[in-house]
Amino acid sequence: MDRVIKKAKALKGEITPPPDKSISHRAVMFASLAKGDSRIKNFLWAKDPISTINAMKSLGVEIDITDSKEIIVHGKGLYSLKEPDNVIDCGNSGTTIRLLSGIAAGQRFLTVLTGDDSLRYRPMKRIISPLSLMGANIIGRDENRFPPIVIKGGFLRGITYEMPIASAQVKSSILLAALYAKDETTLIQPHKSRDHTERMLKNIGVHININGNTITIYPPKSDLNCFEITIPNDFSSASFFIAGACIVPNSEVLIKNVNLNNTRTGFLEILKKMGANIEVLNITEQAGEPVGDIFVKSSPKLKGITVQGDMIPKLIDEFPVLCVVATQSEGKTIIRDAKDLRVKESDRIKAMTSELRKMGATLEEFEDGVEIEGPCTLIGTEVYSYQDHRIAMALSIAGLIAEGETTIKNAECVDISFPNFYDLLEILQK
């Protein structure tokens, strides 16, 4: 499906973004390992989290869905999973395959994990290496680089592991495996990444200590607690509308009930440093996460800045739309230390460089980032999504300020995380 985006005069109104994707994945997995019935409300009904539901069902977990689309997971404990009778298809979801690898590493049976064309070229050695050190028997395609992954787990030992990259998926995979280890596991992160896993593990009764970038987890001595959770709304999904309201003239947008976890909101920090007109309101707590409303107005005096180091893990999903904002900012915006973006759903550095150049932007591409000169006038043209949901949505925001019409090729990939993205975009356009 292609999508045509026309230049907007303004974005105005109030929206609620979809539920948090990261927490949706984890809620289903942790409920599956807990003892008793867990209830999950405000789940993200998008392709990636649905892959996680199907994967846990393949492992023998009973999952019911109510008429109101709540999920009831009938967990039977850490050691209740069963050997799947087929290969588990993780779809496009890197979270599913990496976190599930950690769970499978603790099982005394065979699990085979694969995914779609994109996922089968996502790097897996970053989880295979530490899980192998813990005692799991894991092999992957092309010398352990890619899926499919074959896992024969069980009899794990705790390790001390210094992570070469800051990755919430890698960290979570190891922490899940550590639930099955005979002694504690310590992880040392180079920078702090998303901490939803640590928060949820604490909430279900796991003993976990956090000291700066060091995490120590102790194997549970009893069953994990079942729970009820109402998932907050996704900051990464909200970021596209935050960016749009900043760069489309005469805009005023209120985005409701957004997860404001400080390991996720680097994009807000960067935009404020660039001069964005953003206000955070009505901060409360939901499911152990800070939540609030974000009010954004047009910001015509944005300035380019340098983004690097420990800020990168806090805005890893927002890189594509940050590139769009940078095209409208005075001076140079430099983004470095982001090499891991080359192995996401697409090579996001290459994708944004290529497609924004088509629209008339001035960019220099580095191995680990980009330099963008602004402000510039974007010209509507045909651009490609690379079957990457965040590339498609970022280019759609670029289309709102481009002269003429912008056609997003294969725009249906937004269904991976944000099925009603284009509906909300139309609601706000004036």
DSSP codes, 54-69 = HHHHHTT-EEEE-TTS
CA distance 29 to 81: 11
Q: Give strand pairing partners of 71.
A: 40, 65
CA distance 288 to 290: 7
Helix (H) or strand (E) holding 152: strand 146-152
From residue 151, give the alpha-carbon distance in Å to each of 37, 108, 131, 401.
28, 10, 10, 48
Say which residues have a Cβ less than 8 Å from residue 343's Cβ, sequence separation at least 6: 122, 123
CA distance 406 to 385: 12
DSSP codes, 202-235 = HHTT--EEEETTEEEE---SSPPBP-EEEPPBPH
SS3 assignment, position 132: helix
SS3 assignment, position 181: strand
Burial of 182 (0-12, 13-18, 19+ CB in 10 A): exposed
| Terminal-to-terminal C-alpha distance of the chain | 24
CA distance 371 to 190: 24
Respond yes or no: is residue 317 known to be catalytic: yes
DSSP codes, 381-420 = -EEE-TT-HHHHHHHHHHHHHSBSEEEEETGGGGGGT-TT
Q: Is the dihedral of CA 175, 181, 185, 187 positive or negative?
A: negative
The amino acid at 273: K
Structure tokens that stand for 7 in this block: 């230049």
CA distance 242 to 295: 8
SS3 assignment, position 16: coil
Structure tokens that stand for 344 in this block: 């996401």
Catalytic residue among 20, 317, 340, 388: 317
Active site (catalytic) residues? 317
